[in-house]
Structure 1
Amino acid sequence: MGGKRMKKWIVALLIVSFAIFALGCQAAKTEKTQTNTGSSDTSKEASNEPYVVGAVVSVTGPTAALGVQEKNTLLMEADKINKAGGINGHKIDLKIEDDQSVATNAVIAASKLIDQEHVIALIGGTGSPATLAMKPKTAEAKIPQIAMAAGIKITEAPNEWIVRTAQSDAVAVQKVIDYMSKTLKIKKFAILSDANAFGQSGSTELKKLAPKAGLEVVASETYKTDDTDVSSQLTKINGAKPDVVVVWGTNPGPAVAAKNMKTLGMKMPYIGSHGIANKTFLTLAGSAAEGIVFPAGKILVPSSATGDQADVIKTFTADYKAKYGENPNSFAGHAYDAINILANALKEAGSNNEKLRDAIEKTKDFVGISGIFTYGADNHDGTTSSDMIMVEVKDGKWIEKK
């Protein structure tokens, strides 16, 4: 009998021990979940630990002409914030990853920043394909993401955890449509677009808005990002006799198209996207860039800005040139806006994920480089067509096209 009683006691003790162990594991899991969602950040705020912020940009690869200046700007602005004492006593610990202009690399980089570096927010990516690829990851982790790319789908639902600082394709396309219908007063145009997410976003929006402005799309062709010749597509377009050719993409495709159009003797106007608002396009296209018109932020022609924005652009341009020896482009402006909008939200909300997301969404009348930003529950783009101008390449320089 004593042996049986002892066995019962041992079994009972094992059951109790297992229950305590299970409860402990569940508590640890709950604590970890709370930490990941930003609800257990009191100690971080009290100890003035650095705010770890991640960024994924294209420092190498086809979109490096955009990403290098973004990286430079993020580093410069983070340094300014830190030298000024940080944000409520917290320095910014900026972790930057290069996605090499490859969307799958962007996902790997975002995963590293979120899972290993434990960033509280993520800035990026440079291009639409990379940004769209990272969007599910940041949403799943409940990490606020501030995109610097223009593809329309970036801020389409589900979009709870993402906003952007680049003017969206919808804004840029509307600017192009207005220019063709109201300034040039043409009736028909053709589209040559990159087959990637950015190119197809612009192409789709052009086709959507054209009929509303009384415009007809008479031809639509695509090319691959790394194509070195698009003569066959342009020959088909030329046969459709458009009044204008709209080329939607980022380097190097638009420069290839400009050279091919010149070689083919195509005389109709070339209108580009805001993806060519950088000096690399001028270098790649050479003399073929002359006369090309495209929508861009006001930083490309600083004299086009007025009021407080003119002062912001002037100061930023001077600071960037002093540090890096060249003028900043539109994409540097997107990075300036991203890190400073984030900094303002951190001042308001601290590092709690949901509060930080809400603070970003409540941004109102922020005077930035790319525009005057106001977000909202139904507006994660922040800018309007009034934040852009039409720019023309003249004598290898940018001038406002009115």
Structure 2
Amino acid sequence: MLTAKKKTGLVFFPAFDWAISPTHPEREERLLYTQDQVFEEGLFDIEGITELKPDLVRVQDVERVHFCVPDVWNVTTESHFISAGGAKTTGMAVLEKEIDRGFALVRPPGHHAMRVVHGARGFCNVNIEAIMIEFLRAAYNIGKVAIVDTDCHHGDGTQDIYWHDPNTLFISIHQDGRTLYPGSGFRNELGGPNAAGTTVNIPLPPNTSEEGFLYAIKNIVLPILDDFKPDIIINSAGQDNHYSDPITNMNFSAQGYAELTSLLKPDIAVLEGGYSIEGALPYVNLGIILAMAGLDYGKVKEPKYNADRIRQTQDVTRYIEKTAEKVLTMWQQREQIKEELQGIKKFDERPRRIFYDTDNIIETQKETVRICHDCGGTIRIDSSTDQGYHILGVHIPINACKDCRETGYQWYESADAKGFDMVFLQDRTEDKYLCRKFK
């Protein structure tokens, strides 16, 4: 009988009652074929690979991360609570040492959901990784967290949530935003002035194959992780870099994903995208599971796999090598960049327009962060949409200093009905959430 070198837990949640439409790429079959493959290959007969049942997250878990407008119930369904709960269950099992590693194979996905939520973006309503991470911080007092997002689309929601958090390293490897939704994730997106450098973007050109992805992991991601020394590593395990995916332009394979996982050694993986439902996902997930368990994945191959046909060009190789040099240089200069961004200002502002492509909403946002040398800085977000509410959200970080905490409460208490429909406060120092509604 085979025995896993690393005890690995799997959570499945296909979300039978949630779909954007019956024929949409993000639908329940994404996981049903993988479930069938796992059972057919007898993975649960391997000692040390076990199935975990997802719990639900609570409203409080969502409110640690998001300002949901007008409230959590209006932007989520039960499926979102179970999907995020599957990630939470996986994280708890790892922290309780019931398993060494865990993979939450759940939907709906989450990495495009930002701190403010007026609706769905990129098939995402709430950010399931962030909800899991902030629950683990509250329950187990973990400190430094690294998130490595390997979805083909830039994880702009996760980046937004942790933009000002110096204790969360967010690395995204994705298809160049000039060629794919959401059009972000460029090298100069480094994080806010109090956390400059802890956001790392690695945009790869279309038609990158496993050679390019694995080069980026070995030569950029692993050295940065070694420097950062996180307490836990999370992989946002999107699988739409696969050569057969219908909505992207990359040339990764199941073998490549398995080797990536073997190199990265994530404590927790959470499924994100991946829309080649029959030709890729069952094989990619099988390879990832075997790699997480420390088992041989050498025979995992898609039916039509041909390495020569998907090999990247020399131009792509040279481009990725130059990208690696530039990204590592910015990482090494992060303290200098942070000093320059902070300057002598008391506050820094970031105006934005955000498009909710799934729900066709346009949000106008002005974010203000207090410049602070002692913590991540209190954040004030003035947000309105073309068809909904005008809100103020105030976020006080979990390690906030006295001055930042006082500033946060001043912002919250001084806001009134003349300017806003509702005002929210996340005080992570006390794990407290407040809301005042004027309309």
The one of the two structures with greater contact order (alpha-carbon pairs below 8 A, sep at least 6) is 1
Return the index of the structure with the highest Cα Rg.
Answer: 1
TM-score, normalization: structure 2?
A: 0.28
Structure with bigger strand share is 2
